[in-house]
Amino acid sequence: MARLVSADKQRPQDAALAQESTLVRQVDNLQRISAQQRKDQLGDDWFKQVRDLYNVFTRESDAPMFRPTVRIPEAQTLGFMEAIDLSDIEPRIYLTKSWDNYQQDENAEVCVQAFWRDALINNQILYAHMWAFFCGNGFIQVGHDPTRRNGRGDVVAMWRDPETVFPDPYAVDDENWQYLILEDFMWLDRVRQLWPIPGQRVTLTKSAASLVDVSSAQRSQTSFGLEVPKGPMQAMIPGMPVSSVPGDARVRVRTLFLRDSTRKKVSDKDGRMTLSGMARPEYAMRYPRGRMIIECNGVILFDGENPYLHREFPLIRFIGMPAMHGFWAPPPLRYTKSLQEIAERFITQDFENTIRLNNGTWFIDEDTGIDVERFGGVPGEVQMKAKGSQTPELVQPKGSSEGMNKAGELLKKQRELQGFAESRMGKTPQGNTSTNLFEGAVSQGQTLTRGRARLSYGPIMRLARLILMTLAQYTKDERVFADPRSDGYGIVRWKAVDEDNVEKYIAHVDPASIRPFSDAMLASRVPLMRNMGLLDRESALEALRWPNRKKVVERLGKEAQAAGQAEIAKKQAGKGGKK
């Protein structure tokens, strides 16, 4: 009888393990579908090619090389320059007001702008644009880290490696996707620290540990069933293996965000009446904000509702080119990568030829009597030759610079295709060119940059919105920010936002604040606008990013006041002399 009772106790455990295994297998399938679509768009080993190219590793070649390969990191530099221009912005973020507390709404708007500066969000946008240049898509993830600010928690916005992102392959943008998988590798101790109870079952191997050591309370909070919404995600493919990196003591942690259409039954008393007078049960969404599942080596660490009240996946996509054939945009680097490789090969070949040909060959006549074994051909060497015999001759074939010329033409073509015309690089046109004509040429040379800035408007606006809503949801204490409106020292206080008002806030970004204007072009326009009366003194200094502008304006005002008083005194003195 004791064995039968024991067997009965094991049955729920076996069922839970089977359900957990099914859920993990379905997560594997979703990731495999996404990985296959990305592979079709980018290729088998594009990420490895990008790493080797960016780090200027020696390129593998089937042709024999007698000297080290010459690498020209021009495309890498062009991508970095483009990312700098696109991220050198000061977006003006505005909020639609809840109108419940105008002062709180106004402070929230200023605090978001202050957080943008303090968290160096522009640096994260720079990384995202760099990834977009090399891989087509760049990503920034928004979240909340409870360990920051000495345990009080803070919002985090960080760039993410595109190789760790597995989106819905049928999505056209980052607002209409059905699921998203984020892949991370963590130390095993870190996993057990973040998820104490289920983390104890995680091992460095694929198989999951038994559920016996997990409390019944924890099991009741975890749902191991996954009902995939209708659509393309129902097409399941055999699961992919789950394992840690060979030789690595970390484990793979996958976070799945899913638009789960599963419904739950509502109480009969809340149902609607049918024609027969009987109450008909109604059904409601089980995960109205979406579902989040965290898995590690076959163990479900978390399965529940999306913790973000904004109901969105916390990832923003930046693209380097328009994505016309899927979620992944074509990398701009791919358009000119072959040109740079051919140019590198031309210069490498010229380098090899130069080294070999410059060695030269000595021709020594037999009548000279010089011992060729002792002849070195070094500078200052003294050799005795027979009287009247021919002097030894050094023959050096002439090298050709044709390869260098071709390489220069290819690199110039690459710069043009990447939007770096000569005018944009600072080369003035021939002849007498006015400032306006030169600025016009520079502006025309930034056509691609302006196009990419237009593509960045949506992601930057969504990034501002996610930062705002995450800040409003999780920051419940009073924070002090440096006021971006002040010149010098000034503070603005963040007030906790009621949970009911979190979703009322909507962030907007002024498109004019993210246009890529060069500092020189902007500085040249300030005096003209100042003379036309379109800018006051402080606004002109602000456009020039002049430090301590308020003090400068104050001193200018005092100088103007003193000059006015002196002029008045001079006029009064002149009138007195005439009398």
Name the residue with higher pLDDT: 290 or 379: 290
Tens digits of residue pLDDT in 414-428: 877 777 776 665 555
Whether residue 239 lies inside any domain: the answer is yes
Identify the helix (H) or strand (E) that includes residue 342: helix 332-358
Kindly indicate the confidence band of residue 241, based on its pLDDT and cuts at 50, 70 and 90.
Answer: very low
pLDDT of residue 443: 54
Tens digit of pLDDT for each residue in 193-214? 889 999 899 988 765 555 444 4
Q: Is residue 318 part of a domain?
A: yes
For residue 289, being part of any structural domain is answered with: yes
Whether the CB-CB separation of 318 and 216 falls below 8 Å is answered with no
The predicted pLDDT at position 207 comes to 53
- The answer to whether residue 324 scores a pLDDT higher than 70 is yes
Cα angle value 378/379/381 (rounded, 5°)? 70
CA nearest neighbour of 439 among 507, 314, 524:
524
Give the integer Cα–Cα distance in Å for 346 and 401.
10
**CB proximity list for 206: less than 8 A, separation 6 or greater:** 241, 242, 243, 297, 298
Please say whether the beta carbons of 175 and 462 come within 8 A.
yes
Looking only at Cα atoms, what is the longest distance across the chain? 133
Q: Provide the domain count of the chain.
A: 2
Listed in sequence order, the residues at least 6 apart from 289 whose beta carbon sits closer than 8 Å to its beta carbon are 305, 306, 308, 309, 311
- Asked, for residue 41, whether it belongs to a domain, the answer is yes
Predicted local confidence at residue 284, as pLDDT: 78
What torsion, rounded to 10 degrees, do the Cα atoms 189, 190, 196, 202 define? -60
Q: Which of 68-77, 144-153, 162-171, 437-446 has the lowest mean pLDDT?
A: 437-446
Of 202-216, 345-359, 404-418, 543-557, the range with the highest mean pLDDT is 404-418
- Domain membership of residue 465 (yes or no) is no
Residue 570 falls inside a structural domain: yes
Most confident residue range from 26-40, 242-256, 497-511: 26-40
Q: What is the pLDDT of residues 261-297, one digit of tens each?
A: 888 776 555 445 444 555 555 777 788 888 999 999 9
The C-alpha angle 196, 197, 201, rounded to 5 degrees, equals: 105
C-alpha to C-alpha distances, 8 to 15, 24, 209, 217, 218, nearest whole angstrom: 11, 25, 20, 19, 20
- Of the two residues 327 and 577, the one the predictor is more confident about is 327
SS (H, E, C) 436-496: HHHHHHHHHCCHHHHHHHHHHHHHHHHHHHHHHHHHHHHCCCCEEEECCCCCCCCEEEECC
Who has greater pLDDT, 195 or 560?
195
In a domain, 151, yes or no: yes
Q: Is it the case that residue 73 has pLDDT exceeding 50? A: yes
Asked whether residue 369 is assigned to any structural domain, the reply reads: no
What's the predicted TM-score (pTM) here?
Answer: 0.75
- CA–CA separation, 290 and 306 (whole Å): 5
How many residues are given for the chain?
579
* End-to-end CA gap in the chain: 130
Domain coverage including residue 554: 528-579
